[in-house]
A and B are shown apart, each in its own frame.
Chain A
Amino acid sequence: MLNLFLLLLAGYVAGLLLPLCFPAKPSIQNILAHGFAGLASGAGILLGVTGLLAPEPWTASAQSTVPFLSFAVRLDSLAAFFVLTISLAGLATSIFALGYVTEFYGRVSLGALGSLFNGFLLSMTLVVLADNGFFFLIVWELMSLLSYFLVVTEHEKAEVRYAGLFYFIMTHVGTAFIILAFLIFFQAGGSFSFETFRHPPQPLPEGMRTLAFLMALIGFGTKAGIVPLHVWLPYAHPAAPSHISALMSGVMIKTAIYALIRVYFDFLGGQFPWWWGFVVLLVGATSALLGVMYALMEHDLKRLLAFHSVENIGIILLGIGAGMIFQSYGLKELAALGLLAGLYHTINHAMFKALLFLGAGSLLYATHTRNLEEYGGLLRRMPWTGAFFLIGAVSISALPPTNGFVSEWLVFQSLFLSFQLPTVFLKLMLPIAAAILALTSVLALACFAKAFGISFLALPRSAHARRAEEVPVPMRVGMALLASICVALGVAPMVMVPLLDRVAAPFAGMSIEGKVLAMDGWALAPVNVEFSSLSTPALALLLVALSMLGLGLAVALGGRVKSRRYKTWGCGINLTPRMEYTATGFVQPIKRVFSTIYQPTVKLETEFLEESRYFAKRRHFEFHIEPIFQTYLYDPLVVFFTTMADRLRVIQAGSLHLYLTYIFVTLIVLLLLAV
């Protein structure tokens, strides 16, 4: 395992340094950077798998001369799982990038982009491997720093700079909370090694544990993008180059999930009151619902996807929160189930979100716009991209038999099993959470019907879309890889579940592989076949068979009729793109129904012809929805600080006498204090 780890390290470091050695040769830099990244992430995949299969955690460490700091890594099943996730996404994005970054040639330094890319992947891998709090903080901050510089790759654009800064500030403030959380653990053990975090000499007092819980939730939640700390996310993820967005949205925010599980189940030993789990559940539900609702209103494809990351983090937290609640009541197998569901959704979301972002990148590459309203009819120009994007869309909408469905189904189950809980309150709350989850996933379905339908179907809506062409092979390969993983994870859960069980078992205190897998693996049945069962392979077969049946019936009853192609009926006039339903129009009913949340403001200006008021020369329509949290939470903060700073300028008024007075007064005050 050491060799694999070293190989991974070497690969990323090589990809980090070598591109810088060939300035002004973008193609070489491109190949070097992404080639080595691919190599390293390949090693990472192996490392993850071996780590998951290994009976014992693997550890290694290098001493440092800094107090409390040691470069210690530990590959237990949890870490291994996340290494696997990161590396899978890393591999796909590296392949994709080979083709994608060509459009940056000449505009951006490929050396910088490439080596930052490698550094970013490396730092994420180390975050999940770190076994020392101090080391963790270092790589965590490095991850933020590198991702920031990747976000501002195109820093000549003002909005990109704004997005980057916003992200950087938020994540750093989050880190302050993380440091506090770690300090609490440190206080008990007098060391930063995670081992002492796990088993402190004297146990933490209850108050301190609660404080640590909250600090961790805020600190890591900022990175994960939970509501209301999500505000940076829809700015930062779209601003980055698409393959970076894929990594940030798909993987980086998952490191926060990793950290939360690490802290709650590992450091705090899974010993907590039920309300912790409930808080997490609440946060999850809120994030899921608001995430998807804001996503619906977006017409910038990448912003839309970013908001869906908020949603899916919410779903993951629903699973984990349920697990925590069960844990606090000692219902081990259900705790394990909840955790398993959350983790399953973690890797699923990593895969399909990365896929979708790569798809968005391909659209950007082909059309140079991110605006849905300017796409249309692309499925016929970019069949491959379209197909892959469709798979991604189906998966994220949690439709059978794809992976998204499996994990959401598991989350549903763990929420439904709440009837075993002792308190009526929770018995009611968890099903309601389930209902919210249902609403969320249908809205997601609607959102992706919009995203896919508007951009890939019907007529091209702009010159960009008319000129679009299929993207180069490497990009397609990258997407194909992820798409196939999505399908595989969907129809073959029996492969993933045992692995996930190895992750969850140590924390929940029991292995539930036997309880989840039924019919020697062909069906999932938590926690017994009587309660519920699901067999995606069967469903897949069934769907194929029945569509065959449909085809058969058609032939049998109708014979072989050649269908005729003719233009769509446009009420008598020829159909033009301007008659098509727009994305805005598509979501109008939803906007209207949920107007309390959106607080939409609509502006409609009409210029009439001079001759008659019945003929409009041009109409200008625009609507925008209130970003509640920014307007009512963040903007006031900024205003407060700036005004404060402005007020305090009088301190430095420029008068020498004033300055002398400061010193004089300080002197006298201190003297009086001392005596």
Chain B
Amino acid sequence: MSWPLVLLVTAPVMAGLGSLLVRQRRAIEVLQCAQAGAILAAAALVAGHVIAAGEVSVGGFLRTDALSAWLDLIIGFVGAIGTLYAVGYVGEEMDRAHLSGRRYSQFFCLFDLYLGAMLLAVNLENIAIMWIAIEGSTLSAALLIGFDRSKAALEAGWKYVILSSVGIALALFGTILVYYSSEHILGVSNEALRWSQLYRVAEELDPAAIKVAFIFSLIGYGTKAGIAPMHTWLPDAHAEAPTPISAMLSANMLTLAVYAILRFKAVTDRTVGPEFAGNLIIGLALLSIAVSATFFLVQKDYKRLFAYSSIEHIGIALLGFGIGGFGVFAGAWHLMNHALAKSTAFYGAGLVFLRYHHKSLDRVTGLLSQMPIAGTAILVAGVALAGLPPFGLFISEVLIAIGAYRAKPEVTYVFLALLALAFVTLLYQVLRMTLGTPGEAGTALGKQCRIFTSAAVGINIVALGTIGLYVPPGLETLLTSIVKIFGGGMETPR
């Protein structure tokens, strides 16, 4: 019973190639919606199987444990909804003749390949092949970021491609080092690269080698995850990419990179104990939160604003993972809620951009009264991202604070202080945008665009609300088994 997994990784690729072949817009739209449905269903089914059976694997090639299933859910859901949004958004661009039919189909081809690469990466068993898939996603993203060929877009794309290529290269060296130290035990073969195998023999691996390997993969994949100080490409890319892509980058790709780091962390923890990797991650995480908190205040561009908030939240999630125990629970939960909230925020931002054709924060006010959908999206997302109930980010942040306080109280003090600062600065900007009286008129959006985008926003907000204060039992099983992957038990007195 493994077809859903196969479907999950193949559907986007097929849809992508398909939209390259069929050139009519309507056909592409249908294809995309079909793909969205397919990955959504497939992701749900895969997760279901994993919840039931613990693991799903196809050949020696694909293997999905709780962590992968978690990522499947995130990427699958956000990807599917993002596809709907993209149909609305890019369609609008085309209606306004900013886009030729050829470029239209190219966009969706790249978009789907990008999605496919990410979905593949999280379900692969072999860490080296996972690297290849991630590199694939990097490259397709590189093309998407520079998609509209403005100077800014090119600059952002260039920076992205250089920095993340370097990062990814470092990550590969990390992988090689793991292989280098594991092949003595598992033999010179694919076995030596399967994480399932690695976990098994991790205790026997050479600590020194694994340490170095972890540092390389932390910095390598960390560059992709936008951890400070490797985050520098992130604001540019998120701001200049077409908004559906910004949403995907922030909600999916960063999460994917975190996933990759986690795979290595799991091995490292088994080999040298959780302290080493934990401390490194905690340090960088706090740095990331600090950086983003300070940059909220000086923002002039609302897409950059949300980009920095991604840095902050990836930092928070990593802090959770770095702490371990139910910190892992919180971190994973944080990733999912962040993905939902952040994509919502970018959906809203995209609509605003379509209307005003500029990204200047100072000139956008009174969204609630002028663009109810976008306004609500940004307000709700802003409240959620600021870490307020009834949204899950509050839950995870408190849990992380708890975990941190248990492990290292001083970390908690710093963490809470930074959170408060980030709260103030982010909310200040978000409220400035949404409340008040509208500034300029802008150009109204087309009907189709409105339908698709508001559907996307609506679904996201509903999802965000439902899992706000309540972890569905299925997801809870996933989370607990994720915690087990990191060797922590869930001692959770209620």
Residue of A nearest to B233 (CB): A659
Contact of B163 among A183, A660, A666 (CB under 8 A): A660
Q: Does B473 contact A (CB under 8 A)?
A: yes
A666 touching B230, Cβ below 8 Å:
yes
Q: Contact partner of A180 among B235, B297, B406, B412, CB < 8 A?
A: B412
Cβ contact within 8 Å between B232 and A68: no
The answer on a CB contact under 8 Å between B297 and A67 is no
Distance to closest chain B CB from A603 (angstroms): 31
Contact with A along B478-494 (1 / 0, CB 8 A): 00000000000010111
| A644 CB to nearest chain B CB (Å) | 7
Contacts of A652 in B (CB 8 A): 232, 235, 295
Whether A68 lies near B492 (C-beta < 8 A) is: yes
* Distance (whole angstroms) from the CB of A640 to the closest CB of chain B: 12
**B-side contacts of A168, CB under 8 Å:** 427
- Of residues 167 to 182 in B, which have CB atoms within 8 Å of A's CB atoms? 167, 170
Contact B401 A183 (CB under 8 A): yes
Taking a contact as CB atoms under 8 Å apart, the answer to whether A67 and B329 are in contact is yes
Binary interface encoding of chain B residues 417-451 relative to chain A, with 1 for a CB under 8 A from any of its CBs, else 0: 10111011101100110011100000000000000
Q: A161-B431, A179-B398, A645-B295 are in contact. Are A67 and B490 (CB under 8 A)?
A: yes
Partner of A187, one of B297, B389, B405, B413: B405
Contact of A64 among B298, B383, B494 (CB under 8 A): B494
Q: Are A66 and B395 in contact (CB under 8 A)?
A: yes
B residues in contact with A190, CB < 8 Å? 493
Q: Is B364 an interface residue (CB 8 A)?
A: no
Whether the Cβ atoms of A663 and B389 lie closer than 8 Å is: no
Q: CB distance B420 to A65 under 8 Å?
A: no
Closest to A646 in B: B298
On chain A, the residues within 8 Å of B280 by CB distance are 670
Q: Mark B131-173, 1 if CB is under 8 A from A, else 0.
A: 0000000000000000000000000001100110011001000
Interface centre among A134, A183, A646, A660 (most CB of B within 10 A): A183
B389-402 interface bits toward A, Cβ cutoff 8 Å, 1 = contact, 0 = none: 11000110011011
Interface centre among B233, B276, B490, B494 (most CB of A within 10 A): B494
Q: How far is the CA of A660 from the CA of B166 in the complex (A)?
A: 9
Q: Decide if A176 touches B416 in the complex (CB within 8 Å).
A: yes
Contact indicator A65/B412 (Cβ below 8 Å): no
Most buried by B among A63, A137, A179, A186: A179
Inter-chain contacts of B368 with A (CB < 8 A):
155
Q: Which residue of B lies closest to A191 (CB)?
A: B493
Verify A674–B419 contact, CB threshold 8 A. no
Q: Are A179 and B326 in contact (CB under 8 A)?
A: no
Q: Are A64 and B469 in contact (CB under 8 A)?
A: yes
Across-interface contacts of B362 in A (CB, < 8 A) = none
Q: A70 within 8 Å of B by Cβ? A: yes
Q: Please give, as numbers and ranges, the residues of chain B lying within 8 Å of A186 by CB-CB distance.
A: 402, 405
Task: Establish whether residues A138 and B494, one from each chain, have CB atoms under 8 Å apart when the complex forms.
Answer: no
Question: B471 near A183 (CB under 8 angstroms)?
Answer: no
B26-41 at interface with A (beta carbon < 8 Å): none
B22 interface residue (CB < 8 Å to A): no
A residues 111-160 with Cβ under 8 Å of B? 134, 137-139, 141-142, 145, 152, 155-156, 158
Whether B223 is near chain A, meaning CB under 8 Å from some CB there, is yes
Q: How long is the Cα–Cα vector from A145 to B218 in the complex, in angstroms?
A: 37
Closest to A661 in B: B229
**Smallest Cβ distance from B171 to chain A, in angstroms?**
12
Total residues of chain B contacting the partner, CB 8 A: 71
Q: How far is the CA of A17 from the CA of B237 in the complex (A)?
A: 41
A662 to B287, CA, bound (A): 13
| Contact status of A659 and B436, CB under 8 A, knowing A141-B394, A173-B420 | no
What mask results when residues 647 to 660 of chain A are scored 1 for a CB within 8 Å of chain B, else 0?
A: 01101100010111
A639 to B12 CA separation, bound complex (whole angstroms): 50
CB pair B211 A674 closer than 8 Å: yes
Given A64-B494, A66-B395, A645-B294, the answer on whether A659 and B163 have CB atoms closer than 8 Å is: yes
Distance of A25 from chain B, by nearest CB (Å): 18
Greatest chain B CB density within 10 A among A65, A70, A169, A658 is at: A65
Known interface pairs A66-B471, A641-B297, A642-B297; A656-B162 also in contact (CB < 8 Å): yes
Contact B420 A172 (CB under 8 A): yes
Tell whether A663 pairs with B166 under 8 Å between CB atoms, given A64-B494, A138-B390, A158-B436: yes
**Contact in complex: A67, B298 (CB < 8 Å):** no
Cα–Cα, bound, A656→B471 (Å) = 42
Q: Mark A161-179, 1 if CB is under 8 A from B, else 0.
A: 1001100110011001001
CB-CB under 8 A from B295, the residues of chain A are 645, 648-649, 652
Residues 195-221 of chain B, each 1 if its beta carbon lies under 8 Å from chain A, else 0: 000000000000010011001101100
Does A609 interact with chain B (Cβ within 8 Å)? no
**B61 at the A interface (CB under 8 A):** no
CA distance A658 to B389 in the complex (A): 39
A-side interface size class: 35 or more
| B476 contacts A by Cβ under 8 Å | yes
Alpha-carbon gap, A658 to B163, bound state (A): 11
Complex CA gap A179/B294 in Å reads 23
State whether the Cβ of B463 lies closer than 8 Å to any Cβ in chain A.
Answer: no
Nearest CB to that of B468 among chain A residues?
Answer: A138
Nearest A residue to B476 by beta-carbon distance?
Answer: A65
Chain A min CB distance to B229 (Å): 4
Given contacts A65-B470, A141-B388, A142-B390, contact A670 B402 (CB under 8 A): no
Tell whether, in the assembled complex, residue B229 and residue A68 are in contact, meaning their CB atoms are under 8 Å apart: no
- The answer to whether A597 has its CB under 8 Å from any CB of chain B is no
Q: Is the CB of A68 within 8 A of B402?
A: yes
Residues of B within 8 A of A667 (CB): 170, 215-216, 219
Contact B424 A172 (CB under 8 A): yes
Chain A residues, Cβ within 8 Å of B432: 161
A659 contact from B215, B232, B413, B428, Cβ within 8 A: B232
Q: Is B472 an interface residue (CB 8 A)?
A: yes
Q: How far is the CB of A19 from chain B (nearest CB, A)?
A: 17
A463 at the interface (CB under 8 A from B): no
Take A141-B388, A179-B398, A180-B412 as given contacts and tell me if A656 and B163 are in contact as well, using a CB distance cutoff of 8 Å: yes
Query: Across the interface, do B436 and A156 meet the contact criterion of CB distance under 8 Å?
Result: yes
> Does B291 lie at the interface of the complex (its beta carbon under 8 Å from any beta carbon of A)?
yes
Instruction: Determine the distance from Cα of A175 to Cα of B329 in the docked complex, in whole angstroms.
Output: 23
A69 at the binding interface (Cβ < 8 Å): yes
Contact, CB under 8 Å: A68 / B417: no
Once the chains bind, are B215 and A648 in contact (CB under 8 Å)?
no
A165 and B431 in contact (CB under 8 A), knowing A190-B493, A659-B232, A663-B166? Answer: yes
What residues of chain A lie closer than 8 Å to B219, measured between beta carbons?
Answer: 663, 666-667, 670
Question: Are A138's CB and B394's CB within 8 A?
Answer: yes
- Assuming the contacts A169-B424, A663-B223, asked whether A67 and B494 have C-beta atoms less than 8 A apart, the reply is yes
Interface residue A671 (Cβ < 8 Å from any Cβ of B): yes
Q: Provided the pairs A648-B294, A652-B295 are in contact, do residues A671 and B436 lie with their beta carbons within 8 angstroms?
A: no
Counting from the closest, the 10 A-B pairs by CB-CB distance are: A67-B492, A659-B232, A65-B471, A155-B435, A645-B297, A662-B229, A191-B493, A183-B405, A138-B389, A674-B211
* Interface positions of A (Cβ within 8 A of B): 63-70, 134, 137-139, 141-142, 145, 152, 155-156, 158, 161, 164-165, 168-169, 172-173, 176, 179-180, 183, 186-187, 190-191, 193, 641-642, 644-646, 648-649, 651-652, 656, 658-660, 662-663, 666-667, 670-671, 674-675
| B residues neighboring A (CB under 8 Å) | 158-159, 162-163, 166-167, 170, 208, 211-212, 215-216, 218-219, 223, 229-230, 232-233, 235, 276, 280, 291, 294-295, 297-298, 326, 329, 366, 368-369, 383, 388-390, 394-395, 398-399, 401-402, 405-406, 412-413, 416-417, 419-421, 423-425, 427-428, 431-432, 435-437, 469-473, 476, 490, 492-494
| A–B Cβ pairs within 8 angstroms, 8 of them | A141-B394, A161-B435, A180-B412, A187-B406, A641-B421, A656-B158, A662-B229, A674-B212
User: Besides the contacts A165-B431, A644-B294, A660-B166, what 20 more A-B pairs have beta carbons closer than 8 Å?
Assistant: A64-B471, A68-B399, A69-B395, A155-B436, A164-B431, A169-B423, A176-B416, A176-B420, A186-B405, A187-B405, A641-B421, A645-B298, A659-B159, A662-B229, A663-B166, A666-B219, A667-B215, A670-B215, A670-B218, A670-B280
